[in-house]
């Protein structure tokens, strides 16, 4: 596990899509998908900690791209995020980086830094996919 880096404040994409109760919704992410753009695993982990989540960062066992998993240790109490995967891209979904947020009540929400034209899928994904444009 790497040392936590200081989270940047101010500038584009720094708003929070997690409510004060520790909840996230598809609509909140759709309204500000850039909150994840260019963020490291440590920066997203700090965002979760700031919203009451107790987390652990692990390397993904299934990823060929070097993705990391942010595991949630304190499920419940109004919080709905169960896990977050941060992928640098270059794996089975193409070269675009993405953040995959698993929730207990909103399903899986995937924020892809790129356009739908550059995203590889088998068509069987159940995630709500939000594209931020870019690459």
Tell me the C-alpha to C-alpha distance, in Å, between residue 100 and each of 1, 7, 9, 85. 19, 20, 22, 5
Percent of the chain with pLDDT over 70: 87
Of 28-42, 71-85, 87-101, least confident by mean pLDDT is 87-101
Q: Is residue 118 part of a domain?
A: yes
Which domain, by its residues, includes 106?
A: 26-131
Across the range 101-115, mean pLDDT stands at 94
Q: pLDDT tens digits for 15-70?
A: 678 887 889 999 999 999 989 988 999 999 999 999 999 999 999 887 767 899 99
Total of domains in the chain: 1
Q: Is residue 100 part of a domain?
A: yes
Task: Look at residue 85 and give its three-state secondary structure.
Answer: strand
Q: Is the C-alpha dihedral spanning 31, 43, 38, 100 positive or negative?
A: negative
Band (pLDDT 50/70/90 cuts) for residue 121 is confident
Helices (H), the chain: 26-31, 41-50
Q: For residues 87 and 31, is the Cβ–Cβ distance under 8 A?
A: no
Q: What is the pLDDT of residue 58?
A: 95
Q: Is residue 18 part of a domain?
A: no
Q: What is the pLDDT of residue 15?
A: 63
Q: Is residue 126 part of a domain?
A: yes
Q: What is the pLDDT of residue 134?
A: 59
């Amino acid at each position: 596990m790497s040392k936590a880096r200081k989270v940047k404040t101010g500038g584009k994409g720094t708003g929070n899509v997690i409510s004060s109760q520790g909840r996230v919704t598809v609509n909140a992410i759709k309204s500000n998908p850039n909150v994840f753009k260019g963020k490291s695993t440590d920066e997203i982990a700090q965002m979760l900690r700031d919203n009451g989540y107790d987390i652990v960062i692990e390397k993904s066992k299934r990823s060929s791209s070097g993705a990391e998993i942010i595991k949630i240790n304190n499920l419940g109490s109004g919080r709905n995020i169960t896990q977050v995967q941060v992928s640098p891209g270059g794996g089975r979904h193409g070269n675009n980086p993405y953040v995959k947020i698993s929730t207990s009540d909103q399903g899986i929400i995937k924020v892809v830094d790129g356009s739908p034209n550059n995203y590889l899928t088998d068509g069987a994904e159940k995630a709500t996919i939000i594209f931020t444009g870019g690459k």
